[in-house]
Amino acid sequence: MSETDVEMAKYYIDDVYKDLKDLILEKNDIAYQITAGELLKYCIDLFFKINRTIKEKNKRIPKQLLNIDEKFYYIIQKVIKSHFDIVEVKKLVNYSENSLKGRRTLEWKLKSNLRIIKN
């Protein structure tokens, strides 16, 4: 993965985790479950990318994860069995960030040369 890809992955994980915390405060259970599921899928896809392994069919993923990294497999299993409990999701976030060599850098400052031309 390029440095940019790594930084973007860190940003995405951090951003979605913050969204989950907001959804808890809003008591928006449906959006929380959908978002947590998307984060889970993203972390699994990222895991395969980091490990330079082609992801198999969904029905074979558990065995594949277990063969590659038992710890990650059990983290995923706990997230699912807990119905995306935020404590278990945070463990997934931490593990994924550690796989990327740490959390994202401090807040980004976006720079642009955007020009708006009025007609």
Please report the DSSP string for 42-53 in residue order: HHHHHHHHHTT-
Classified as helix, coil or strand, 111 is coil
Q: Is the Cβ–Cβ distance between 50 and 99 less than 8 Å? A: yes
Cα gap 9→104, rounded to integer Å:
9
- 33 vs 111, which has greater pLDDT? 33
Residue 94 domain boundaries: 3-99
Residue of higher predicted confidence among 43 and 102: 43
Q: What percent of the chain has pLDDT over 90?
A: 78
Task: Report pLDDT digits (tens) over 37-72.
Answer: 999 999 999 999 999 999 999 999 999 999 999 999
Buried b (16+ CB within 10 A) or exposed e, 78-117: ebeeeebebebbebbbebbbebbeeebeeeeeeeeeeeee
Indicate whether 119 belongs to any domain: no
Number of domains into which the chain is organized: 1
- 69 falls within a domain: yes
In a domain, 105, yes or no: no
The CA–CA distances, whole Å, from 92 to 16, 36, 56, 99, 119 equal: 12, 11, 21, 11, 50
pLDDT of the residue at 109: 59
Q: 56 lies in a domain? A: yes
When pLDDT is averaged across residues 76-100 and rounded to a whole number, the result is 96
